[in-house]
Chain A
Amino acid sequence: MKISITNIEKKYGKSQALWPINVELDSKFVTILGQSGCGKTTLLKILAGLEKPTNGEIRFDETVIYSSNLRKNVRPNKRNISMVFQDFALWPHMTIFQNIAFALKGILPKSEIKERVDHVMRLVKMEGFEKRKPGELSGGQQQRVALARALATNPKLILFDEPLSALDAVLREKMQEEIMHIIHELDCQAIFVTHDQTEAMTMSDQIIVMEAGRIAQVGSPQEIYHSPATPYVADFIGKVNWVDKGSRIVRPEGVSRHSQLGAIAKQAKIVKSTFIGDRYLVQAEVEGNQWSFYENAPLEKGKLLKVFIDEKQIYQLEGLH
């Protein structure tokens, strides 16, 4: 399904939460990445139909979902989408079964509802919890149930609103993998909002980086990492070494102590070496900028040495904002 967003903007009174946004999304797993307050959740809620944009148009393939000109606004429950909320939003007075079956009543015959609930509970590995209430489950379990509820209606699109931010690091990584796995198994797309760049990198086919109510860049994780569109994106994603402030960058992998053909030499003063498990992250001062690169052994603090940059790995930022 192709999601076309045309000139969508959102104002709260006088403050502009979203500047007019134009983007087409057709990848299976899209991430909207940005710091808090950049408008990423607002955009997601507009897609869900929970917020009404001030202006613009949204189409799912050729179907108009929202249009300010046509005065058309399809209700959230008629958009064939579902959503996983940051705080899970499982209704506390219903059992897990009732929570999931709530969306199925009326679209499935009664006899099939149980079957479908069992099916999605199996998908998220929560068989046997149907009779519990949300309050009796742990955070991770509630998150799985929230995912099961979202899967139950066979939606074309699932929206995730920072669903993993309430979980601890180990659980988060596990859930990332499971969500990816489930989405790729099924015939549906996902739009995933997060402020965690590693999460965005590992999970998505397409990333939208947002900054202050605007889209800074749209691209695959590789494109975003190797060819950032703006200095903001370059700084926000991964570690960056500025060759020329604001225009040319090289990632830490492009810097080494060993001379190569076509390499540029620079004078570096070591600031510190940090053990990060498989190797050392070395921070150094190069021409007044803070650089970082990787080494197999720690380097002594204050040491002066030459580092070499593979010229092919230097990236020139295009048109500055």
Chain B
Amino acid sequence: MIMEGRRTFGVLLAIVGTFAIAPLLAILYYTFVNGGQLDFSQISRMFENDRMWHTLGNSLLLGVLVIMGTTIIALPMALIRTKTSLIKFDWLDIILTIPFMTPPYIGSMGWILFMQNNGFLQQLIPSASWMSDYFFSLFGMVMVMSLHLFPFLYLMLRNTLLRINGSFLDAALIFGRNPWRNWAKIVLPLLVSSYVLGILLIFIKTLAEFGTPATFGSRIGFQVFTTEIHSYLSRWPVDISMATSLSLFLLSVCLIIWYFQNLIGRKNTYSVLSGKTQAVREMKDKWYIKLGAWLYVGIVLLFSIGIPYFSIIVTSLQKVRGDGLSAGNFSLASYQAVFTSGSAGLSAFLNSIVFSFITASVTAVIGLFIALYIKKGETKKQQVLDFFSLMPNIIPGIVFVVGLIMFWNSPLLPATIYNTKTMVVVTYCVLFLPYSVQYTKSSLSQLDQSIFQSAAIFGRSSWDVYRHIFIPLLMQGILAGMMMTFIISMRELVAGLLILPPSVETGATFIYSQFEQGNVGLGMAVAVITVAMTVIFMFLLDWLQKRGGHAGA
């Protein structure tokens, strides 16, 4: 069989170990060791700090509120897409994932531009200006984050509901006494486990989120873990041990939640798959259900895509921001400025493309080998590698970034990549390796066991087997993973802010710095280009997966 043996494991573990595990060990080292001595004073200093407890409270509160927010948006949406005639409009799913793929800081910038004093809302409806005060509060922050994260929960709920829709529900229709009891006793219990898994992941993602707290939270003075860590590292006086202590704490919180998530997942996931999904039945709704459903979808799309996209596009097209929405105030000047060769915007954007492309290629290769080694994760070694390679998914990006900075600054290293562009690519690779591993693994899991066996019997050499059988069969998954990695590398903000060498910028840091103190129009022009590219890639990705489905059938 392929990709087995001790040497492969050793090589792969060494790669993952150096780049993903060593940074975490570096955090531990800098937190607990001071001058070669074990020292707990730093961690106790953190626990004595009132500000830390305040931050913890803020982070947890935000997590709970975002869970509520995403539930309010995602649950009705999942019901609408599975129980009404809207079930046939599969294109809605791609549209609904756009908010999730939009960089969160761009989404919140859009909302800030729309709601702020003299923003678009006040220009369009002057009488609605009272809303601004209410919006710039924890409520607004939760809303913006929920609008970004809800697609994730929605897709999980929708898939579970679709699977229950098969013979499980048919059996309930025949044996059940009334629809409410069927709903309470059969649909709800089957839905609960995937709901709990979904919201725990939402909680972790909220804790790990940097973009929205950095743009929106800083405006309303709402500090969370990620922004605290960032400010300890970037504002004078730099306090490294505080940053590592906080990172360690955040890491522990995430690991605990992840542990519970696993526990629940193992206990309560039934093979809902046994309920055969069947051809979609025709559904006819009463007019008010249809109207209500479309209205709901319309409002969600307006809030999650319409308003933020409107704001960033219009801002990028405005000549003078103070002049507002008037006919003569539009031009392409910002775009011209961005596309002038040698401009800061263009070089930042090109940097992003180069970094993202290299990251996508490197992770694709490493991800392929790891996925081929892990296969179904049956042996201990395979599970270990699986766990380590997916770890960056559970651990907040900023923790890894802090760890990488500590590790590559270590005086023990003979040479360092710190303060070079390589460092950026390495960081991206560590952060986004899980995507490539997951995509390749999932397309590997779709291959029947017999393909491995026939390859083992008929393949003349293992190189032959890779080149002619596995790589072509997995190509679709590899490409999908590459595109996904490219998209999220393009938008990565916190890594860029902390590790970019002096005078180098990426698209994301350029947008951020222009928005905070500079030419907002210019920043938004780059934002629009980034977002447009993201959306195009998403449709390509969808097309790629659909095409693969047809070829495989």
Contacts and interface: CB of A to CB of B under 8 A. Distances in A.
A12 B270 contact: no
Nearest to A51: B281
B170 interface: yes
A92 B271 contact: yes
A153 interface: yes
B38 interface: no
A277 interface: no
Interface stretch (B183-191, B397-405, B419-427): B183-191
Interface string A15-59: 000000000000000000000000000000100111110000000
B276 interface: yes
B189 A93 contact: yes
Interface size class of A (residues with CB under 8 A): 20 to 34
A88 B177 contact: no
Contacts of B281: 51
A198 interface: no
Interface centre among A85, A135, A153 (most CB of B within 10 A): A85
Contact of B170 (A52, A85, A106, A107): A85
B91 interface: no
A256 B486 CA distance: 74
A89 B170 contact: yes
A91 B173 contact: no
B412 interface: no
A268 B275 CA distance: 52
Contacts of B279: 12
Contact of A86 (B167, B174, B175, B272): B167
A83 B171 contact: yes
B274 interface: yes
Given A92-B270, A102-B175, A102-B185, A86 B276 contact: yes
Contact of B190 (A83, A87, A93, A153): A93
Interface stretch (A65-73, A74-82, A298-306): A74-82
Contact of A87 (B172, B177, B189, B275): B275
A50 B170 contact: yes
A75 B190 CA distance: 23
B177 A105 contact: yes
A89 B190 CA distance: 13
B365 to A, nearest CB: 39
Contacts of B185: 94, 102
Given A102-B176, A105-B177, A135 B170 contact: no
B282 A12 contact: yes
B274 A77 contact: no
Q: Which of B166, B170, B185 is packed against the most chain A CB atoms within 10 Å? A: B170
A199 B486 CA distance: 56
Interface in B228-287: 268, 270-272, 274-276, 279, 281-282
Contact of B167 (A87, A93, A105, A135): A87
B136 interface: no
A102 B177 CA distance: 9
A106 B171 contact: no
A103 interface: yes
A112 B129 CA distance: 66
A102 B173 CA distance: 11
A188 to B, nearest CB: 15
A251 interface: no
A149 interface: yes
Contacts of A149: 175
Contact of A135 (B181, B186, B271): B271
Given A86-B167, A89-B168, A89-B275, A76 B270 contact: no
Contacts of A102: 175-176, 185
Q: Find the residue from A90, A92, A153 having the highest chain B CB count within 10 A.
A: A92
A75 B179 CA distance: 11
Given A87-B275, A92-B272, A102-B185, A82 B175 contact: yes
Given A49-B173, A102-B176, A93 B270 contact: yes
A85 B278 CA distance: 13
Contact of A89 (B167, B177, B268, B271): B167
Contacts of A48: 170, 174
A15 to B, nearest CB: 11
B272 A77 contact: no
Most buried by B among A50, A89, A107: A89
Interface string B113-133: 000000000000000000000
A135 B272 CA distance: 10
Contacts of B270: 92-93, 135
B176 A88 contact: no
A88 B190 contact: no
Interface string B397-441: 000000000000000000000000000000000000000000000
A89 B271 CA distance: 11
Nearest to A104: B175
Nearest to A98: B185
Interface string A242-268: 000000000000000000000000000
B276 A77 contact: no
B370 to A, nearest CB: 31
B174 A88 contact: no
Interface in A133-170: 135, 149, 153
Contact of B173 (A52, A77, A153): A77
Contacts of B168: 89, 91
A88 B270 CA distance: 14
Contacts of A153: 175
Contact of B171 (A75, A89, A135): A89
A76 B174 contact: yes
Nearest to B269: A92
A76 B271 CA distance: 26
19 contacts: A49-B173, A50-B170, A50-B174, A76-B173, A77-B176, A87-B166, A89-B166, A89-B167, A89-B168, A89-B274, A90-B171, A91-B186, A92-B190, A92-B272, A93-B190, A94-B185, A102-B185, A135-B271, A153-B175
Interface of A: 12, 45, 48-52, 75-77, 81-83, 85-94, 102-103, 105-107, 135, 149, 153
Closest 3 CB pairs of A and B: A92-B270, A103-B175, A89-B167
Given A48-B170, A77-B174, 11 more contacts: A12-B279, A12-B282, A87-B167, A89-B167, A91-B168, A91-B171, A91-B186, A91-B190, A93-B189, A103-B177, A135-B270
